[in-house]
Structures are given as structure tokens and as C-alpha cells.
Structure 1
Amino acid sequence: MIEKLITDHRSQITKLKIMTVVGTRPEIIRLSATIKRLDKYTHQIFVHTGQNYDYELNEIFFEDLGLRKPDHFMNVDTSSLGIAIGDIIKKTEELINLEKPDALLVLGDTNSCLSAYMAKRKHIPIFHMEAGNRSFDFNVPEEVNRRIIDHIADFNLVYTEHARRHLIAEGLQHRRIYLTGSPMFEVLQQNMEKIQNSDVLQRLNEQITNHQLPVTNHQSPITNHEYFLVSVHREENVDIPENLQKILTILNTLAETYNLPVIVSTHPRTRKRIEMLGKDKKQKEKDKSIKAEGLSNKPEETLNFEHGTLNFEPETLNPLIHFLKPFGFTDYVHLQMNALCTISDSGTISEESAILNFPAISLRQSMERPEAQDTGSIILTGFEPDVVLNAIATVIEEYKEKVKSNKSEVKSNKSEVKRNKSEVISQKLEVESQETSSFSLNPSAFPPPFALILNPSALNDTSALILNPSAFIPAFPQEYFIPNTSWRVLKLILGNTKLSNKWWGVNK
């Protein structure tokens, strides 16, 4: 009866109209739980800065996360940086005039977040998730964006106390800053069943069997904990040829040192830059030959990038290195959880490796998440091969030590349960909680900090994993383990949107 009254009452209320703007896969992933929450409790206008054509190509990505199709596509012209930014601002104004939203929500530091500028000029309250992150490195393009957006946002929703302190140090008011925690815990929690059930390794091995991937005698099949996973896409990493060449050298050294497959989830930007690197080397060799022989110059043919092979050699690439198209969210997380080590320049690698507890390093020269380094949950390496190889060996060894320690604890727990069987039966719920508090993630792993509960009769069966946010959290950034970020964001928007302009004295 009460639920019906609430439902009837809610149907008569004019909901807040919230415009949520996204433009990249990472934004969509991190916002996915919040988007679904806002769809239920507000009138959400879901905007994508790309093209409808892009959506059709990536529709499975949205379905993977349980997200609906965006309401508007800006079709932003990306032919140059200036044109792209100008187009985002211009088309944001058009949509604001059309939809008349009560508030704007953006996450992160990509160019799509610069839609906040027009919202500010139109006196539309801005809620900025992932605010306050600082790398203090202006070689990182996002560092410029995030500082601009933080200072024009009405409400900065930070992941950590580190981020809050950055904003306060820059003179922002306390009441403009709220801690919501990282949304990744909630996103992973909602998608864990799909992640566990991913058959991505089986599909990769089928491609090897069908000769769709290059293979050596000692490399098939690809199995759990016997491969490396790599994702490198950041502008400051792949747009500088010297850095890209160093990264390729690292991949080669990795394959040669461990004699294991290196699976590279290849971002379009990275693919393009690798092709350009190969073209550049070929062209230099060709120019040298032309000069020596006195021949006329001819345009270079377009290079292909198919099925993990490159038809150029910026250096001799080891056949164990597979350059593959970008994976979907659930497939990629599954690969991370089962890799010997993940090497990534992703902004969320520190969160994902801490939450899911897999070995990883950050292949970057600066980081905007100092809490991850404070707690030792990630190593920032740069591009020197020796440093990277040492870091990888270190996190793998650390992981093995924790596995060994955990197995001892599991054995001890099971012995204790057996000795106190009568007490276990009389206090079933309590014993079940104790018995399942520290079981392995897989046959050679230990429990992630968010404490996956595993059926004690199936220690090696990952299908029994269940998230338990209330369980014990070890020494990792605790703001990474907040289970209700989407509720926090929703409540802040519902409560503060109408008050915002009054606080600032804006007449609207």
C-alpha cells in the first residue's frame, strides 16, 4: 500500500531535468551505474558528443553495461582540437536551449566535459564527478581540462580526500566539494556476473586455432595467469614517437623475458600512431634509397593493422605480441583478473587493480591518483625497460606471497570450523561469514580487498564469487570501496540543484 502511494505520488511530481554529457568509453563505464540511477529518479537527458554512427558500431558496448541509447548525439567535428572544443560548446548551447535542463552532470577531464563552460554561462548548475584529481603535469592534456572544469563547476564530487585537499588548496569553498568515492566499485559489483562468465579466452584460442591470430609452437592455448595484458592509449604516451618506441621495446622485452603471450588491447589512437611510426621508418629508408639511386619520390601506400600483425617493423616485434581490437568492458575486466600482470596507462587501473586485486603497473610518467601510490596498490614506472621489468616482477612476487599467506589462512579457518562443528551448526550464519571471509579469487589468487565471498566447497570455482562491500578492507584506498556512489550523486543533485543559484546570488 505504502509503495503504491509513493509510486502514485512520484508520478505526479515534476522531476528534475538533468543533462548528462559523455564522449568516451571510460566516461560511460564510470557513469553507467549513475546514469541508470538518474534515469529512475530524474528526467535525464543523455547526451553523447560523438555520432549516432559511432553508437551503432558500439551498441554492444552500451548493452554490455545495461545502458540505453543516448537521447542526443552532437556529431562533433574532430578534425582539429580547436574545432572539436568549439563544436562541443556550440552544440551544448543548442541542446540547453532545446531541453532547458535544471543541471548538467559531467565526469572526468575529457573534452566532452568542456560542455560545462556553456552550462556556466547559461546559469545551469554543474555537477562534476571525478573532480580534484591532479597530476601536476601539463604534458597531460587532461590536466588543463580538469582544472578549468573544477573551477567553473558548482559542485565538485571528489573520489578521495586527496582530491578534496587539492581543491581547497586552490581556494574552492568547502560547500562546493563533496566526497562520493570512486564509482568503479559499484560498476564492477553490478557487472560481476557478466565479467565472471566472459568466454573471451575461449574466443581468443578459437582465433588461434583458426589461424586468425599468429601463433608459435609454445604459445597455444592462452591460459589463465600465463599471459600479459596491455592497454596504452594516452596522448602523452603514444603521440610522441620516442615514447611509443620505448613502449614497443618494453613489450618485446616482456615477451622475450617471460616467453608468454602479450595481449594488447589496441586503442584506435595507438593503432594510428604505430602505423605512422612504421610509415616513418619505411619512408626514411625509401628516401635514403631514392637519394642514393637518384630516383623520383612516390607516395607511401596505406598500411594495414589486422589480426595482431603489423606489416612494418619499427623494431623486430616478437610473435608473442598480439595487437587486437579494443575489448568490451566485461571481456577486458575478465582478462585483467586472469592475467599474470596488467600493464596500462588507464586512469582507472589503480582503482580496478585495488578493488579486484590483480597485479598491475601504471605505464605513465605522472599520475593524478596519489592515494594509489600512498597505499602501494600501484607502481608508476615511466618507460625505462629495466624499471618496468623490475616493477612487473615485484608485483607478481607480491601477489604470490599474498596467495601463499591466504591459503594458509583458509586452511586454518577450515580446521577451526571442523574442530567446532557443533558450535558451527548452532551459529550457522556467523560461521558461514567467518568461513567464507578469505577464500581465493581463482586457483592461484587471494581475496580481493572488497572481499569476494567464495563457497568453501568450491575454492577453485570462480562462479561462486559474490560481492560483499561490508567485509574487511585491507590497506588500500578506502574511498575506492564505497558501494553507493550513484546514490550519493543522485541525492546531491536532488538536494542542491535548486539551491545552487540562490547561494551564488544568480538571478535566473
Structure 2
Amino acid sequence: MKKILTIAGTRPQLVKIAAVSRVLRQSFHEVLLNTGQHYDYKMAGVFFEELKIPKPDYNLKIGSDTHGRQTGKMLIAVEEVVEKEQPDAILVFGDTNSTLAGAIVASKLHIPLIHIEAGLRSFNKLMPEEINRIMTDHISNLLFTPTELAVQNLKNEGITNGVFLVGDVMYDAVLYNMGLAEQQYKITDFNLTSKKYFLGTIHRAENTDSKEKLEAIFKSLINLDQVVYLPLHPRTKHKIEQFGLQDIVEQAKNIKVVEPVSYLEMLFLEKHAKAIITDSGGVQKEAYFMKVPCITLRDQTEWVETIEFGWNKLINPLKTDLSQVLREVQNGQPIDSIYGNGDAAHKITNLLMQKI
């Protein structure tokens, strides 16, 4: 049986691993390496329990650092694991520093590299994730894309060999895990009423590192006519304290700040929200799957299809009235077929059986 080393380390990647590993392990010997890029229990560790993800064979516990230092630490540690395990291929997901580190090690050691979620582009090279995407795609041997547009993006960059349109593994995960979430939770567990609240998530550096922008976001949320349920990311909490914005947050009667929630809790909260306000790439897409309108607090998104079909709107909180955009965005119509049929993991495994 061929051996595949799967590398991940962040919340969204662990979700995708849960969807893929269930199928992959029927045909391959998978070794799971967790870099520990997300290290908070609620943000990452809980996934291994509630999503029944296999226990990692390796946990590097890298934690937070600057991009360069974090990636450098990962390179050293991942290379040691690869030299020990001698996998037939290395599999990476998405666009994180864990992705890039795994990709570079695979390339340097001449091991076939598999990239799931290949071809996504925001066309903003100021985003670290964009650099990670581009570099990983250009050294990958097998590129599994979620959409037709991703295939075209790769073609535009001269990448055509080893490219396969399989659909989105996150859609696989949502379909599977939503059932688990609904078995486990009721909306009253959160002291909320279905479709009577907005769900918010804010964590990206482009929003949290600017006092002006972070303050504008919270002032926009205060002006909304519904409860805003806001699981607070550790980065955002730290920046609120650093910038002295606690009073604005604490005095906002309609903002309900809570600790970070688990993945299943988040799925459940997304499904029952009236609309979602986020800067997360993954949450945008989950909102689309749930047929819940989404406002994205960014200037670009890698999920441009959700914009084109009117189910997602990009806004700059310094320039745009959030309440007005929320009224407009609720008129879109999601189209289920954009991201496949929820069988991406099976397609990926079948192709790997032919190619590895």
C-alpha cells in the first residue's frame, strides 16, 4: 500500500482532512502530520474529537511566530519527518504557511506533491496566503481544483499538466458534518432565535492590525438592527485591548461576544444566522453552502463565484454602510453545482490510485 504524508496545521485544513481521510485511508497508508500552526484547543484540538479525525502521527507544535520564522521552523521539522517516513507522495491543503513548508520540502526532496484546493487566486500579493498559493501550485505535481475558474487561473500561469477539477472538499465536509451538528445542538443552547441574528467572525491581519479599521467594523456592527453573535478570535481580542477599544465593544448592546466556538458549533450557527459578516475565506464558502447571505470585510476574495452570483458582497468598513449592504445581499440565489456534488474526496482518491 502506497504511503501519503498529509500535512496540515490550521482550523480549515483539519476540516478538509476529516473529509478526505475517511476515503483516502481505504486505499492508502496515510501518515498525518499536524504542524500546530493553530494551537488553541477550541481553534484546532477539538476537531480531532468531534470530527473523528485520526490522531496525528506527528504534532510539531510550532505555534505562532512571524511568517518567516514560523515557516522556517516548519521546514526543518517537516523535513525530518519526511526523511524518516519516506512517503510516496506529500499532500497539502489550501494556502497556509504549513502548506508552503510542506510544498518546499517535497520539492527539495523530489517527492511528488499533491495540492488540494489548487488554482485559487485573490490577485492580491500583499496577502501571505496568495504567495503561498502561487508558490505551491507552481511546484505541485497533482493539482486538484474546486472550480472551473481555478483551472483557468492555473492555465493562465502556464500550469496545465496534472490539473484535475474535482470539486470542493469543504463541501464534502459540510454535507457530512452538518448532520452531526444538528444532532448535537439546538439554537436555544446559544440563547438565540433562528434567523434572528447576524453571525460575525473577524481575524485577518488586514482588519485587526488597523485601529481605524477595527473600530469602524465595530461601529458598523453596533448600528445593525439584530443581535450580532461574535465568537472572538484570540488575535482580535488582543488587538481590541492593544488599541483601547474595549469600551466600544462592551457598551454595544446588540453585540454578543463569546469565546471561539468549535467547528460543529460554527456550522450550526452559520445555518441558523440571518446573515454572516466575516473576513474568513472558509466561512464565506460555508455561508454559500448554507444558502445564508454573506458580507465579507475584505477588498478581494478567492471565492469570486460567490460574488458573481450575488450571495456574497465585499465591503470596506471605512467606506461602506454595512446595514445597507446587508439588505442588498439577501437577494442573491446560490447555485449548488459551482463547487461540485460533495464527492471530491472520492474523485481525488480514485485519481491518486492511478497517478501515485
Q: TM class by shorter-chain length? A: over 0.9
Deviation at 1:167, TM superposition (A): 0.9
Q: For the structure 1 residues 383 and 75, does the alpha-carbon distance in structure 2 shift closer, same or farther, using more than 3 Å as the test?
A: same
- 3-state SS, counterpart of residue 101 of structure 1: coil
Which of residues 228, 231, 236 is equivalent to 2:201? 231
Does the 8 A contact of 1:21 with 1:112 survive in 2? yes
Q: How many residues align?
A: 355
Does the 8 A contact of 1:365 with 1:382 survive in 2? yes
Does the 8 A contact of 2:67 with 2:97 survive in 1? no
- 3-state SS, counterpart of residue 82 of structure 2: helix
Question: Does structure 1 residue 496 correspond to structure 2 residue 355?
Answer: yes
Question: Does structure 1 residue 125 correspond to structure 2 residue 112?
Answer: yes
Q: What residue number does 1:150 align with? A: 137
Q: Deviations over 1:52-106 (max 9, x none)?
A: 9756995432222121211101122533322211111111110011111110111
Q: For the structure 1 residues 53 and 337, does the alpha-carbon distance in structure 2 shift closer, same or farther, using more than 3 Å as the test?
A: closer
Q: For the structure 1 residues 51 and 144, does the alpha-carbon distance in structure 2 shift closer, same or farther, using more than 3 Å as the test?
A: closer
Deviation at 1:176, TM superposition (A): 2.1
Q: What residue number does 1:486 align with? A: 345
Deviation at 1:318, TM superposition (A): 0.9
Q: What residue number does 1:168 align with? A: 155
Question: Does structure 1 residue 87 correspond to structure 2 residue 21?
Answer: no
Which of residues 234, 245, 250 is equivalent to 1:268? 234
Q: For the structure 1 residues 80 and 346, does the alpha-carbon distance in structure 2 shift closer, same or farther, using more than 3 Å as the test?
A: closer
Does the 8 A contact of 1:77 with 1:83 survive in 2? no
Question: Does structure 1 residue 373 correspond to structure 2 residue 232?
Answer: no
Q: What residue number does 1:405 align with? A: none
Q: What residue number does 1:182 align with? A: 168
The residue identity in structure 1 corresponding to 2:227 is P
Q: Deviations over 1:268-322 (max 9, x none)?
A: 11111112111xx7xxxxxxxxxxxxxxxxxxxxxxxxxxxxxx32577412212
Does the 8 A contact of 2:4 with 2:29 survive in 1? yes
Q: Which has the higher contact order (CA 8 A, sep 6+)?
A: 2
- 3-state SS, counterpart of residue 138 of structure 1: coil
The residue identity in structure 1 corresponding to 2:26 is K
The residue identity in structure 2 corresponding to 1:336 is E
Instruction: List alignment gaps of at least 5 residues for structure 1.
Output: 1-14, 206-221, 282-311, 400-473, 498-508
Q: What residue number does 2:293 align with? A: 359
Q: For the structure 1 residues 355 and 56, does the alpha-carbon distance in structure 2 shift closer, same or farther, using more than 3 Å as the test?
A: closer
Separation in 2 of the partners of 1:156 and 1:59?
A: 28
Poorly superposed stretches of 4+, deviation over 6 Å: none
- Whose radius of gyration is greater, 1 or 2? 1
Q: What residue number does 1:349 align with? A: 283
Separation in 1 of the partners of 2:204 and 2:39?
A: 24
Q: Give the % identical residues.
A: 32
Instruction: List alignment gaps of at least 5 residues for structure 2.
Output: none
After TM superposition, the score normalised by the length of structure 1 is 0.66
Separation in 1 of the partners of 2:104 and 2:37?
A: 21
Q: For the structure 1 residues 40 and 56, does the alpha-carbon distance in structure 2 shift closer, same or farther, using more than 3 Å as the test?
A: farther
The residue identity in structure 2 corresponding to 1:242 is E
Q: For the structure 1 residues 389 and 51, does the alpha-carbon distance in structure 2 shift closer, same or farther, using more than 3 Å as the test?
A: closer
Question: Does structure 1 residue 243 correspond to structure 2 residue 229?
Answer: no
Q: For the structure 1 residues 347 and 94, does the alpha-carbon distance in structure 2 shift closer, same or farther, using more than 3 Å as the test?
A: same
Kindly report the root-mean-square deviation, in angstroms, between the aligned alpha carbons of the 2 structures. Answer: 2.2
Does the 8 A contact of 2:278 with 2:284 survive in 1? no
Separation in 2 of the partners of 1:377 and 1:251?
A: 20
More strand by share: 2
Separation in 2 of the partners of 1:391 and 1:350?
A: 15
The residue identity in structure 1 corresponding to 2:279 is D
